[in-house]
Amino acid sequence: METRLNKLTSRTQDGFVHHGNNGLENGLITSAVTPSSLVTVNTNFDVIIIGAGFTGLMAARELSRRNRKVLIIEARDRIGGRTFTSEFDNQKYEMGGTWVHWSQPHVWTEITRYGLSIVETQGVTADRLSLLLDNGSRLKITSMTNLLPQLCESMNNYSNIDGVQGRTVMPLPHEPFGANEVIQTYDKMSMQDRLDQISTIFNNNKDMYEIMDAYLSMNSQCKLSESGFIDHLRWWALGDYETCRLFDKTSRYKITEGISTLAKAMLNDCHNVQLLLSTPIISINRTNDNNVTICTQNGQLFTGRTTIITIPLNTLHNIEFFPPLKLEKQRVINEQQCRGGSKFAVKLEEPIGNWCGYAPYPNPITMAFTDDKEGTIIIGFGMEDLLDIRDFDAVKLALNKLLPDIKIKYIIGHDWRSDPYTGGTWGWYRPGQITSNLLTLQEHEPPLFFASSDTANGWRGFIDGALESGLTVVRHVEQYLNKESTINI
Ligand SMILES: Cc1cc2nc3c(=O)[nH]c(=O)nc-3n(C[C@H](O)[C@H](O)[C@H](O)COP(=O)(O)OP(=O)(O)OC[C@H]3O[C@@H](n4cnc5c(N)ncnc54)[C@H](O)[C@@H]3O)c2cc1C
């Protein structure tokens, strides 16, 4: 089943394919697996970057091209972090971060730089739509054309907290505190609070309430009562305050060559960066001469003038800092953010055409849609831990509720929630966390610098946010290395 493409690829320990009765295979073939460098332990690096996701790759490329001596230490056996493209059964499957858009400024620049192209995911504009309603007991079949005007109207009502579609609260989505005092008020609100506020508009259309529930919790992958409303408004503003444009920007176009091709292109464009894979770090020590010593799980020590820590917010609490970080910083790290849910792909025995399905909480699948033209591949998403994607029968049962007649050939995916180096999927803050946590998380404690998609300003929680954060931290590290010790973000 493995193709000739695999000659350029190797197997990572991440991910699985489940063939039903024919068993489960752990590990997937991907071009994101790449050789480690032979690192001389006594080298004094300018910058040691922890993590080879897009934040780390951006920082490594930019710093190394400024002739900084850079080491990347990565826990996994591959690059790309919360993204990797698996090549299986003559298909490219994206296991994590997938969809990109020309209005995502940082990612689009990289697509242009490396001459990559985009391909459309079909199901976002599906003509056949399944809605699982009334606590999963009623299946309604309709079309996207029928649903869209109602969904757009409901989304407009939901987001219209100020009579101008949220523009006064989120006027500049790349500046989270652009409307300072107003942000304080709305940051306390959960997505559920806002749904409750407008609930009377659904009095004559209960189905629409359930569809809104499914759509909104698909975005946060978390119970709406635990998902911050401000992050919804940020997405909404980034989507130009309009539902169809938000769909297009978040789930319609993916990189034809695969997201791992972009990660590899960035790595290959670094100048003399050393990369150490399969090397989890466990502690970060600031030395008396204001250098940094990084200690790995297998006891190796690496020293640098600075370090950039790109470890995801939900697993950063596993790292020990000596001396400890500022109390407030450690507090917000310990709080974490929403953990997200599941993403998986299934290959069907028979094509089903262009299809999409929604099922609100507590259905194990919140949203699913076909990815390819014929409709033989479905991408599914589930909220929190409601679906164990490694359980073939559980996925089959949940999907059959939306599509009773389909037969699954295999399931392919990666369980990001139980991944010790991720602890969740994409970033979404809980109520109150933007105003109380974001600035603290972004604050550096030189020579320690922090960067991550989870703490970006604009497309936080997206690949674009990782690139933004990677680029921003490069400016701060350069200022520091050039002997400016006061960092103003
Ligand atoms: C299922 C899923 C779907 C998504 N869909 C989209 C999408 O369609 N579009 C989009 O733009 N974004 C999407 N995202 C989000 C996007 O992928 C992430 O926001 C982004 O890739 C994060 O980049 P990062 O470099 O900040 O973090 P990461 O990619 O998580 O990189 C951090 C790196 O640190 C490493 N690390 C962790 N702990 C240690 C340690 N102790 N020692 C050494 N290394 C360590 C990790 O292994 C990892 O490689 C999705 C994410 C997921 C999981």
| pLDDT tens-place values along the chain, 489 residues long | 333 333 468 999 999 999 999 999 999 999 999 999 888 778 899 999 999 999 999 999 999 999 999 999 999 999 999 999 999 999 999 999 999 999 999 999 999 999 999 999 988 788 899 999 999 999 999 998 999 999 999 999 999 999 999 999 999 999 999 877 889 889 999 999 999 999 999 999 999 999 999 999 999 999 999 999 999 999 999 999 999 999 999 999 999 999 999 999 999 999 999 999 999 999 999 999 999 999 999 999 999 999 999 999 999 999 999 999 999 999 999 999 999 999 999 999 999 999 999 999 999 999 999 999 999 999 999 999 999 999 999 999 999 999 999 999 999 999 999 999 999 999 999 999 999 999 999 999 999 999 999 999 999 999 999 999 999 999 999 999 997 444 444
Residue 19 lies in a domain: yes
Assigned domain for 102 exists: yes
* 422 ligand 1 Cβ < 6 A: yes
CA dist 416 to 14, 388, 481, Å? 9, 11, 35
- Residue 98 near ligand 1, beta carbon < 6 Å: yes
Position 157 in a domain: no
Report if residue 427 sits inside a domain.
no
Q: Is 310 in the pocket of ligand 1 (CB under 6 A)?
A: yes
pLDDT tens for residues 13-29?
999 999 999 999 999 99
Q: What's the CA-to-centroid distance between 88 and ligand 1, angstroms?
A: 22
Cα distance between residue 232 and residue 219, in whole Å: 8
Q: Work out how many domains the chain is built from and give that number.
A: 1
Tell me, using a 6 A CB cutoff, whether residue 345 lines ligand 1.
no
17 assigned to some structural domain: yes
Measured from the Cα of 98, ligand 1's closest atom is: 8
Distance 483 CA to ligand 1 centre (A): 31
CATH number at residue 320: 3.50.50.60
Burial of 125 (0-12, 13-18, 19+ CB in 10 A): middle
Widest CA span of the chain, in angstroms? 71
**Residue 453 beta carbon below 6 angstroms from any ligand 1 atom:** yes
Cα of 72 vs centre of ligand 1, distance in Å, is 15
pLDDT at 3: 36
Q: Going by DSSP bridges, is the β-strand pair 292-296/281-286 parallel, antiparallel, or unpaired?
A: antiparallel
Residue 333 lies in a domain: yes
- Residue 349 located in a structural domain: no
Q: State which residues form the domain around 106.
A: 1-118+257-337+432-488
Which two structure tokens, joined as six digits, stand for 360? 């609100």
| 389 ligand 1 Cβ < 6 A | no
Flag whether 234 is in a domain: no
